[in-house]
Homo-oligomer: A and B are copies of this chain.
Amino acid sequence: MPHEDRIERALRASLAPTLQAGHPPKLAAAMQHAVFPGGARIRPKLTLAVAMACGEDDPALSDGVAAAIELLHCASLVHDDLPCFDAAETRRGRPSVHRAFGERLAVLAGDALIVAAFEVLGGSARRHLSRLPVLLRTVCHGVGMPMGIVAGQAWESEPQISLSDYQQAKTGALFAAATMAGAQAAGADGAPWRALGEQLGQTYQVADDIRDVMLDASALGKPGGQDVALGRPSTARELGLEGALAEFHRLVQATLLTVPVCPGASQFRQLIRHEANRLVPQQLMERVAAIA
């Protein structure tokens, strides 16, 4: 089964218990809205790709881990879009959860998605229980304090921020969790996959900064120009657009070199090149060159 299909199936299964008799219908609908239809699903794709590269022996576990990572990502988007943060009206080309369901249900949907992530993780390790503690730790480090995405978001409330620490926590941490947990789901050591995840996260964040400046809302599926409007740290703000593009390319090349030696290495590099072009297409590069 293609990885895309495995991911959607695992996500549907992970939210199935929320639809059991007796559930509050609006919250269930808000959770579905937050998860389906999805974005690029890049984090769970990375999880499955790394699990494969490490000789995946328990697909139910990797599927559960991939779903957990994506549910946590979706939860963070729902809370990031809240009026007190970005006040984003749209997400993935549709109304954001707080816009469609109200602020209360958006707060609760984020909370419930975090819990659902840990429930699916706990339920996936039946065959390899010994892998569960390290998987829990990896996932918690990716999202919680002191270095996960919640911490990254919290740096926006501090007067002094280091741009790289901020990006590492806000984006890199969950990418690193995605790659490390992929290895751990296959019974392998996660450590060699940390640097790859962190670098991919950094690359993704720089691409996001570039896209925020370059693209309009219809292409982004969410409001553009938010980093500048909200005074957020951004590579494009700090280095200028040309500098940010140069940084993006440097990171893509560095990431390609970080792929650990493994049977799936060349497929991995292909995935990275594909994603790089999806994030910052050639025509965008040319447009910048024309302006400069």
Contact = CB atoms under 8 A, between A and B. Distances in A.
A116 interface: yes
Contacts of A31: 145
A138 to B, nearest CB: 10
Interface string A98-135: 00001111011011101110110111011001101100
Contacts of A125: 133
Contacts of A107: 79, 82, 84-85, 107
A26 B112 contact: no
B146 A18 contact: yes
Given A24-B158, A145-B28, A104 B85 contact: yes
A25 interface: yes
A23 interface: yes
B136 A122 contact: yes
Interface stretch (A148-156, A178-186, A253-261): A148-156
A140 B116 CA distance: 7
Given A26-B154, A84-B104, 14 more contacts: A21-B146, A23-B146, A84-B102, A108-B150, A108-B153, A110-B111, A111-B114, A114-B115, A116-B140, A116-B144, A121-B136, A122-B132, A122-B133, A132-B133
A-B pairs, 4 with minimum CB distance: A23-B146, A122-B136, A115-B144, A27-B154
